[in-house]
């Protein structure tokens, strides 16, 4: 009787302990004892891991402006076309301005005549242009010099309004109007796009915010040119989450060329580097019963291990649970591998 009670007590003590998570018998595919598997294996050791955030974005120009005339009139000349590069200050188009030009000539004559009267009065008062005397202001006013000068300045400003100039260097786009048409102040004459330092604008999840910071490097790959890769640097993180849980981010492209166009769709890759991570090749991971599994090698047997993935990039996974430094993992011919299967392992470098 006492022996029976002692046996029950021992069983209950062991049943209360929390065992380490192991593969369930219902999940594991048992080996048939064959050694038909030739596999490649590597030894795990801590290494630097680059976790990637991959997002879709668009190319935007650093400077972009819709250009309009300030007044409504007939367009007399257009000097540019779409796709043309222009320097800052270049005249793009002009309105009819013959009348203003004639008025400017008349104003220049009036200013010249007022100047002669001014000089005559300066001689009479024994003054010079640099004299510090109240009489100098009287002479400038009575000679008509002030009025003539102000009239010429106003006409020159009106003349400038008949010219549309480039506010910065860039490429002309969206130019659709024709010479002889009348301007519409509510619609732009054209759009000027700067080719300097274009930006890739993309969105990240709010849960990814802690992974990014200004100054980090990015890679930009246009969907239309997958063989081209551009380097970028993260320059702006909008401090607001939109209604979809997304945050707007900008990356300035460092090695841009003329192939990048405004509005082009691109893939943006942001690498976040962490040191001393357990990293496995993607080929080492298999899915069994809906769970992530990595096979380790022990005494020429394949051992089934559940793992937890904490990050990934295009080539590797970072593992936070299920493996340890020094473990030997199987990285090839593991899709149909079973637990406790005998394998012939070849160690490779990676």
Per-residue confidence band for 52, with pLDDT thresholds at 50, 70 and 90: confident
pLDDT of 259 above 50: yes
Q: Which residue has the tokens 């013959």?
A: 98
pTM for the complete prediction? 0.63
Per-domain residue ranges for the chain?
23-50+275-347, 53-63+196-273, 66-93+167-195, 97-161
Q: Which of 14-18, 31-35, 51-55, 343-347 has the weakest average pLDDT?
A: 14-18
Q: Which residue has the tokens 């030009």?
A: 101
Mean pLDDT of 237-245: 93
User: For 239, how many CA atoms within 13 A lie in the half-sphere containing its CB?
Assistant: 1
Summary count for the chain: helices (H), strands (E): 4, 21
**pLDDT value at residue 23:** 56
Q: Looking at per-residue confidence, does 206 or 31 come out higher?
A: 206
Sorted by sequence, the CB contacts under 8 Å of residue 187 that are 6+ apart come out as 68
- Of 86, 113, 56, nearest in space to 246 by CA: 56
Q: What is the per-residue DSSP string for 183-204?
A: P-TTS-SEEEE--SS-EEEEEE
Could you tell me where the DSSP H helices lie in the chain? 2-15, 98-124, 134-142, 145-160
- In DSSP terms, 342 is beta-bridged to 301
CATH number 2.40.30.170 is the correct assignment for the domain at 53-63+196-273? yes
**pLDDT value at residue 258:** 85
The tens digit of pLDDT for each residue in 118-173 reads 999 999 888 887 777 888 888 989 999 999 999 999 999 999 999 999 999 999 99
Mean pLDDT of 75-79: 96
Mean pLDDT of 282-291: 93
Per-residue confidence band for 35, with pLDDT thresholds at 50, 70 and 90: low
**pLDDT value at residue 71:** 87
Q: Is-contact 330 40, C-beta < 8 A?
A: yes
| Measured CA distances, 136 to 21, 61, 109, 113 (Å) | 100, 53, 22, 17
Return d(Cα 115, Cα 109) in angstroms, integer: 10
Q: Is-contact 211 51, C-beta < 8 A?
A: yes
Give the count of beta carbons closer than 10 Å to the beta carbon of residue 293: 21
pLDDT of 254 above 60: yes
**pLDDT value at residue 274:** 83
> What's the mean per-residue pLDDT of the chain?
88
Mean pLDDT of 177-182: 93
Fold of 23-50+275-347: 2.40.420
CATH number for the region 66-93+167-195 comes to 2.40.50.100
Q: Which of 122-131, 226-235, 259-268, 295-304 has the weakest average pLDDT?
A: 122-131
The tens digit of pLDDT for each residue in 317-347 reads 999 999 999 999 999 999 989 999 999 999 9
Mean pLDDT of 233-258: 94
| Measured CA distances, 253 to 61, 144, 218, 275 (Å) | 10, 58, 9, 27
Give the count of beta carbons closer than 10 Å to the beta carbon of residue 195: 18
| Percent with pLDDT over 90 in the chain | 69
**pLDDT value at residue 349:** 86
Q: Is 240 exposed, middle or buried (0-12, 13-18, 19+ CB in 10 A)?
A: exposed
Sorted by sequence, the CB contacts under 8 Å of residue 32 that are 6+ apart come out as 338, 341
Per-residue confidence band for 310, with pLDDT thresholds at 50, 70 and 90: confident
Q: Which residue has the tokens 């992530």?
A: 292
Sheet with 75-78, strands from edge to edge, namely 75-78, 91-95, 163-165
């Amino acid at each position: 009787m006492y022996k029976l009670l002692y046996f029950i007590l021992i069983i209950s003590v062991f049943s209360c302990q929390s065992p380490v998570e192991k593969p369930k018998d219902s999940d594991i595919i048992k080996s048939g004892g064959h050694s038909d598997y030739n596999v490649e294996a590597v030894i795990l050791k801590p290494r630097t891991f680059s976790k990637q955030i991959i997002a879709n974005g668009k190319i935007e120009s650093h400077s972009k402006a819709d250009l309009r005339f300030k007044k409504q009139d007939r367009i007399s000349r257009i000097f540019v076309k779409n796709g043309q590069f222009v320097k800052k200050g270049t005249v793009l188009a002009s309105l009819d301005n013959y009348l203003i030009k004639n008025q400017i000539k008349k104003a220049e004559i009036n200013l010249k005549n007022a100047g002669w009267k001014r000089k005559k009065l300066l001689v009479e008062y024994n003054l010079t242009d640099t004299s510090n005397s109240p009489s100098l202001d009287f002479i400038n006013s009575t000679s008509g010099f002030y009025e003539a000068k102000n009239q010429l300045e106003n006409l020159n400003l009106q003349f400038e309004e008949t010219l549309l100039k480039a506010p910065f260097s860039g490429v002309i786009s969206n130019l659709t109007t024709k010479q002889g048409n009348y301007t519409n102040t509510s619609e732009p004459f054209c759009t000027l796009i700067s080719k300097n330092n274009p930006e890739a604008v993309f969105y990240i999840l709010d849960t990814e915010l802690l992974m990014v910071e200004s100054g980090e490097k990015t890679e930009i790959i246009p969907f239309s040119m997958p063989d081209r890769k551009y380097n970028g640097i993260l320059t702006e993180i909008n401090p607001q989450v939109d209604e979809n849980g997304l945050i707007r981010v900008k990356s300035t492209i460092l090695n841009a060329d003329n192939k990048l166009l405004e509005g082009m769709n691109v893939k943006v890759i942001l690498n976040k580097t962490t040191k001393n991570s357990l990293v496995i090749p993607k080929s080492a991971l298999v899915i069994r019963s809906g769970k992530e599994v990595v096979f380790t090698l022990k005494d020429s047997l394949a051992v089934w291990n559940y793992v937890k993935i904490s990050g990934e990039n295009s080539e590797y996974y970072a593992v936070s649970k299920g493996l340890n430094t020094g473990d030997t993992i199987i990285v090839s011919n593991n899709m149909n591998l079973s637990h406790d299967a005998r394998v012939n392992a070849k160690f490779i470098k990676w």
